[in-house]
Structure 1
Amino acid sequence: MKIIKLNAIDSTNSFLKEMVTDSVVENFTVVVAESQVNGRGQQDSVWLSEPFKNLTFSVYISFKNFKIQHKKNLLFAVSLAVYGAVKEATNLQISIKWPNDILSGNKKICGILVENSIQKDKIRHSVVGIGLNVNQTNFSEAIYKVSSLKLLTQKNYDLDALLKVIVSKLKERINQLENKQFEQLEGEYLKVLHKKNTPAMYKDSKGVLFMGFISGISKDGLLQIKLEDETIREFGIKEVSFA
């Protein structure tokens, strides 16, 4: 595992993507930022992190023969890797909020961004960005429903050691992906999916409120919510939220 440490950078994902364009990059190369000033989340949202307190890093993953039709399983693999590492390090009661945030209760402790390079019907490689709140204890008032491992456990964590555990888990899960263990990945993901089979109030992109419960993930990776009338609606990223 090759680890590149940078003092300050706009975005580890952007840096690693440029690196892949300009040179040959070893599989599972990791770019870590001590301070990330313009971290990116899903749909161009911003990930804010206090310097030297958290893990903000990106991992390069290349594939031999991974078809785009199975891309939802990549999200399962990455989410489960981080979930497993945090669980092992802390033993906290945590869950995965679709598609790939890690929560403790209803508070976010980790965000994940997966960016794929596609050629014809295959994903050639992915850059996986991970932002995990570790030792930070103060957060901006503008950000609500967030927490960190230290706030939750009252312990300090070795960032380098935790990074190695996450990457190790990631390798294991990607190996499952390469071996086409899709049913196992999806089954494990659904077991720890936040609000799975639990009635909740949701809001769609038009601001309409409705009751329902998460029933699964579609073949195309959309979130499936069963409504009170037993019909199922499907939603993409940012098309639905908890009310």
Structure 2
Amino acid sequence: MSDRLDRHKIEEHIGIENTAISFYLEDEVTSTNDRVFALCQQEEQANFVALCAEFQQQGRGRRGRTWFSRKGEGLMLSVGLTFSDEQAAVMQDWPFLTALAVRRALLWYLDLDVAIKWPNDLLVDGKKIAGILIERRAKYPNRLILGIGMNVLTRKEEFEPDLQSRVTSLIELVKRPIDRSALAGEVIAAIYRTYVDVLQGQRFHDLYDEFIASCETIGKRVTVHVGEHRHEGVVTKIDREGTLFLQKENGESVTLISGEIVMQIDQ
């Protein structure tokens, strides 16, 4: 099952009359993150560049994994944000701010609760529905690329067998027709509103209560992968900077500012 993204409908939901947003819709790209980075290079004066693609040949997730979605079935988009030197400190907030923005867009579509798995996976009933990859390149330290992949029209049986118990899709959750174009526009609009709020002084700690209320990680026994290292224990808290505190079985406390969490099955 698939449909075509509609540029006019996406722009309608973005609110394209706002000329601060540079929006692109392309049929096929190598990677939406790579393509947005190139577009940011072309549009040096643009602070907010967004791209949707029907298909990406080399989509990627965290830890070098591949993010794959059939053409016309998923939502694959990236947003490039530019910050001044004075605003650089807020860039560390964006893993959490992006998760909150995408969650708000999903709630526009879902009657079910959407949870966040630290730092920025989106889950429904414990299954992943969307992932976020944020990239920053050393040559351009004031630019962030936010990559969002969402499962929309893929049926459970169409996922790889080893993923079927761990992922879900909007079509499995929503009984009414799904409009990928409207949803894409809502995601971009939610990120843009967050970007404007940040430029006006908002920080993650201002949205901390919303994040904690939607985060299902606290109190869970988890394995956290950070590069080649692995930490196991119980998550005791996430502070107002987004730092995760992990209590190991030997009593040692570990603080982590990034990583990939795997929930342990005894939870």
Q: TM-score range by the shorter chain?
A: 0.7 to 0.9
SS in 1 for 2:36: helix
* Cα deviation, residue 28, structure 1: 2.6
* Cα deviation, residue 175, structure 1: 2.1
Q: Which runs of 5+ in 1 are unaligned?
A: none
Partners of 2:224 and 2:119 in 1: CA distance: 16
* Cα deviation, residue 187, structure 1: 2.8
**CA, structure 1 residues 228+118, in 2 after alignment: closer, same or farther (shift >3 Å)?**
same
Partners of 1:179 and 1:208 in 2: CA distance: 37
* Cα deviation, residue 13, structure 1: 0.4
CA deviation digits over 1:168-193, x for unaligned, max 9?
11112112222232221233222211
Contact kept in structure 2, 1:109 and 1:132, CA below 8 Å: yes
Contact kept in structure 2, 1:11 and 1:36, CA below 8 Å: yes
**1:85-234 correspondence to structure 2 within 5 Å:** 85-117=105-137, 123-137=141-155, 138-144=158-164, 145-182=166-203, 183-196=205-218, 198-202=219-223, 209-210=232-233, 212-217=234-239, 219=241, 221-227=242-248, 232-234=253-255
* Cα deviation, residue 66, structure 1: 5.1
Match of 1:75 in 2: 95
1:16 aligned residue (20, 33, 36): 36
Contact kept in structure 1, 2:22 and 2:50, CA below 8 Å: yes
Query: TM-score of the superposition, structure 2-length normalised?
Result: 0.78
Partners of 1:110 and 1:29 in 2: CA distance: 20
SS in 1 for 2:109: helix
Q: Which runs of 5+ in 2 are unaligned?
A: 1-20
**CA, structure 1 residues 115+199, in 2 after alignment: closer, same or farther (shift >3 Å)?**
closer
Contact kept in structure 1, 2:73 and 2:152, CA below 8 Å: yes
* Cα deviation, residue 18, structure 1: 2.0
Match of 2:13 in 1: none
Aligned residue identity for 1:11: S
CA deviation digits over 1:8-63, x for unaligned, max 9?
22211011112223443633322111111211112322111111011101112122
Q: Give RMSD over aligned pairs.
A: 2.7
Contact kept in structure 1, 2:221 and 2:232, CA below 8 Å: no
More strand by share: 1
Query: TM-score of the superposition, structure 1-length normalised?
Result: 0.85
* Cα deviation, residue 226, structure 1: 3.8
**1:26-105 correspondence to structure 2 within 5 Å:** 26-65=46-85, 67-105=87-125
The answer to which of 105-114 and 64-73 deviates more is: 64-73
Partners of 1:52 and 1:176 in 2: CA distance: 32
User: What percent of counterpart residues are identical?
Assistant: 24
The answer to which of 187-196 and 5-14 deviates more is: 187-196
Aligned residue identity for 1:31: L
CA deviation digits over 1:142-176, x for unaligned, max 9?
32401111112233311111111111111121122
